Amino acid sequence: MAGLMAFGLFAAIGLALMAGFPVAFTLAGVALIFAGLGVMAGTFDPVFLEAFPNRIYGIMTNETLIAVPIFVFMGVMLERSKLADQLLQSLAQLMRGTPGGLGLAVIVVGAMMAASTGIVGATVVTMGLISLPTMLNKGYSPAVSAGTICASGTLGQIIPPSIVLVMLADVLSNAYQQAQLQLGNYRPETVSVGELFAGALVPGLILVMAYLLYVTILARARPALMPPDRAADDEQVSMGRLLLLASGPLFLIVAVLGSILAGIATPTEAAAVGAIGAMMLARLGGHLSLETLRNVVYRTTRITAMVFMILIGASLFSLVFRGFGGDHMISNFLTALPGGVFTAMVLVMTVMFLLGFVLDFIEITFVVVPIVGPVLMAMGLDPIWLGVMIALNLQTSFLTPPFGFSLFYLRGVCPDSVPTSAIYRGVIPFIAIQLMVLGMLAVWPSLVTWLPGVVYPG
């Protein structure tokens, strides 16, 4: 009976989310309803709910999660600095005449913005407003243009400093400690944000190179889709100006990511430095005012409140799910699969990929990972490798129709002449590239584990 209640809890939450109810209140509300039903049926011990206040207190005092609102502030402020606009225009002019030059410029600038802001939505909207009209005017295919912008915007999911990686590191650290306790290690180690940043850096760069290679091949094989821009332009862009424009994002990358990997600053401290740096860049660009600061703080508060409310709701859900013995059901099921850890990993990755069609990465991170993470790591999987594999898999949730957030972001800013079907067609090749890179990391785990081993020996 308890097993049926656990399964019903998961199914009811999935149906409620697909019906459009708010995520945080759906997780908490449905969990409480099932807890009440379980108490009346004698299948749920209400003592599990006594741990909920401690979980909320743990979220409030978690120093790692303090980095989330600061990184959000940094990203929103950098969006206001208009650096991406100037950098994209200059790079596109410099690459004039190159097949697919504008598409390549979009990917490069998207990667730099990802490494500077870590916010997918801000990057997609900014790149859509800046580059989509230009790409369409230059004769680029609407599908190719939309796919390139969406894919480059989602690089903020995997390229550090990523807000997703910060949240995933916290969830994985708790899961890793549970796995070690199950194995009899009563002095469990943790997974730090810096280790996950280091593990995701090389895969992120591989993904950028794969995007660039695809656009280059497509532009040469089918030039009608991405014609080179050979129009004369009186404004000439020098390499010096391009480097000057790029120096701002590069400064933030070095200040934030470099200080974390070098062990000089914690992620929260580095995020604070990045926030100040973003304000300085906005001030130098003439875009910092009291009204701008008010808008940035307002957007930061809204995004942060959403993230933490989902985290609180997910904490209540996990308590009720464990109260019904759902964690033991999942553990027994995965460990009993033929093929052992390989089959279990393939199944979990497949389920996460399919969930990405209908759920946001935040729900998957806070709901699914705490359930399957301890089981997989108890079976011997490296936590850093597992975290990067999950992050790259969840990145596809931004691109997969019908509920991919990047698709919604771009749909909101693109003209009516670009149909939604064109956006869907455009992202399919990039989803395939992400899955290909995911397969590479599965075959060669050292692509993930090498850099953390160098930066954090032992």
* pLDDT score recorded for residue 436: 94
What's phi and psi for 346, nearest 5 deg?
A: -60, -40
Closest CA to 328 of 365, 369, 374, 382: 374
* pLDDT score recorded for residue 458: 63
Q: Assess contact for 312 and 60: CB atoms under 8 A.
A: no
* pLDDT score recorded for residue 234: 47
CA distance 191 to 444: 21
Q: Which pTM does this prediction carry?
A: 0.82
Unique residue bearing structure tokens 């899961």: 175
Q: Assess contact for 236 and 90: CB atoms under 8 A.
A: no
* Percentage with pLDDT > 70 across the chain: 92
What is the per-residue pLDDT across 391-433, written as a single tens digit (0 to 9) for each? 999 888 778 876 677 787 787 777 778 888 888 888 999 999 9
DSSP letter for each residue of 396-418: GGGTSTTT-HHHHHHHHHS-TTS
Which position has the higher pLDDT, 199 or 401? Answer: 199
What's phi and psi for 235, nearest 5 deg?
A: -80, 120
What is the per-residue pLDDT across 37-85, written as a single tens digit (0 to 9) for each? 888 888 888 888 888 888 888 888 877 788 888 888 887 887 777 776 7
* pLDDT score recorded for residue 238: 60
Q: Assess contact for 366 and 24: CB atoms under 8 A.
A: no
* pLDDT score recorded for residue 122: 64
Residue 115: Cβ within 10 Å count:
24
* pLDDT score recorded for residue 385: 94
What is the per-residue pLDDT across 285-316, written as a single tens digit (0 to 9) for each? 777 888 889 988 998 888 888 878 888 888 88
Residue 168: Cβ within 10 Å count:
27
What is the per-residue pLDDT across 144-187, written as a single tens digit (0 to 9) for each? 988 998 888 888 888 887 788 888 888 898 888 888 887 777 77
Given phi > 0 = left and psi -120 to 50 = alpha, else beta, which region is 382?
beta
